[in-house]
A = this chain, B = another copy of it.
Amino acid sequence: MEPYELTATEASALIAARELSCEELARSTVARIRARDPDVRAWSWYDEDMIIRNARELDKCPPRSPLHGLTFGVKDVIDTADMPTQHNSPIHVNHQPGQDAACVAVVRHSGSLIVGKTDTVEFASGGRRAVTRNPHNPAHSPGGSSSGSGAAVGDKQVQLAFGTQTGGSHIRPAAFNGIYGIKPTHGIVSREGAKMYSHTLDTIGWYGRCVEDLQLVGRAFQLPADDRPAPTGAKGLRIGLCRTPVWSAADAYARAALMEAARRLDAAGAIVEELTLPASFDGMDAAQQTVMRGEGRAAFLPAYLGSHHLLHEDFREMVENSRRITPAQLVQAYDLAAACRRAFDGLFGDTLDAVLTPASPGEAPEGLQDTGNPAFNSMWTLLHVPCVGMPVGKSARDLPLGIQLVGPRFGDTRLLDIARACAPAIHEAGPLARIDAEVAVAA
């Protein structure tokens, strides 16, 4: 097994035991990127010499934390002090920030090896798409806007990577690339130094190759502890199967992945029951759009004024408020979201441990222009709740299919514990075994 193939958790143990050096892992990573990235194109910037040099520096001191030496990709809307941050925008070509974004600083101080910047949809929002291809099938999108981060982890070019989610930019690419991802509770990780789109929605997340990898990073961010013992398996967990108000957007594969995950959890002893959200949640998808585009006006005003000709039409329309979003609509969206947050949290407690729900409307779209529909993500982003994306299987075209588990606000640590306990059941046949879409037709 080559070092690049190790999960973060596996590599962490070897580095701590001095059985693997940071440089060995870095060299294996560089070789993997060289071999694969001409096809995948996950990276907007990296420097092989810098990777090796920084790894050698890390080898000079004892491990600072379990993240020491682990390879981390950073979505190119997140500032890095030693690498450009270009936002896939002509305005920011070769732009060099003055310091690390908060999330980068935390993992860098914890000893992570920042490998490079991953390609993104312009400003993690609209406009230009990433050039990244799906590593499982290059004719398809890796999803967006965290395209490069999802593909880099999915292709084992790095162990960990940061993404961001404002609509469905983090969890959807997790599903499309066959990897694990967490979009934590809004605000639990500082988003300072990541390009702002919507202050109510923007959330930093990270990808890994297993739930343990996500937990490793969660500890670096000091996610609030949960004093309940972690479940050791799916048995007895109360899982709410939630089709959401946008169920009609789910294709046969999305339905098959959800039902297959539910079936496997049920077989492992979990108590899986249908969860229908109150009618007020029907307005959340539209509310998320209102908040995102309404807040995007202020976010892109500086570029609109200063670099008008270089700003993609999508952003000019947002600043010009082409959809005529009124302050009253914005207030209504905020108030609906607040009421639904409270109602959603209220579902948990004695009768529910986690919600099982689709991560995307189906497999990754063909071509690179369509990065997929965020319908199954937007509501959760606006609810501010933690979501853990998990792979379930693969489609006939070799494209990964995923689901997500969702918990109440600040229940991140518990949700990760639950996801870890459920993962073996969901992967009874391996995380990327073939899923039969016919399952959904019957469901």
Contact = CB atoms under 8 A, between A and B. Distances in A.
Interface string A159-193: 00000000000000000000000000001111110
Given A330-B410, A335-B338, A409-B331, A302 B102 contact: yes
Given A98-B95, A338-B338, A298 B330 contact: no
Contact of A298 (B99, B190, B299, B334): B190
Contacts of A99: 95, 97-98
A302 B189 CA distance: 10
A97 to B, nearest CB: 4
Given A96-B98, A98-B98, A338-B338, A187 B295 contact: yes
B302 A105 contact: yes
Interface in A68-112: 79, 95-100, 102, 105-106, 108-110
Contact of A192 (B299, B334, B410): B299
Interface in A319-378: 326-328, 330-331, 334-335, 338-339, 341-342, 345
A305 B301 CA distance: 34
A298 B335 contact: no
B409 A302 contact: no
B102 A305 contact: no
A115 interface: no
A106 B302 contact: yes
Given A109-B306, A191-B199, A301 B338 contact: no
B410 A100 contact: no
B187 A200 contact: yes
A298 B187 contact: yes
A330 B188 CA distance: 11
A83 to B, nearest CB: 12
Q: Which 9 A-B pairs have the closest CB atoms?
A: A338-B338, A327-B410, A105-B302, A109-B305, A192-B196, A98-B98, A97-B98, A190-B298, A109-B306
A62 interface: no
A99 B97 CA distance: 7
A199 B187 contact: yes
A255 interface: no
A184 to B, nearest CB: 10
A224 B302 contact: no
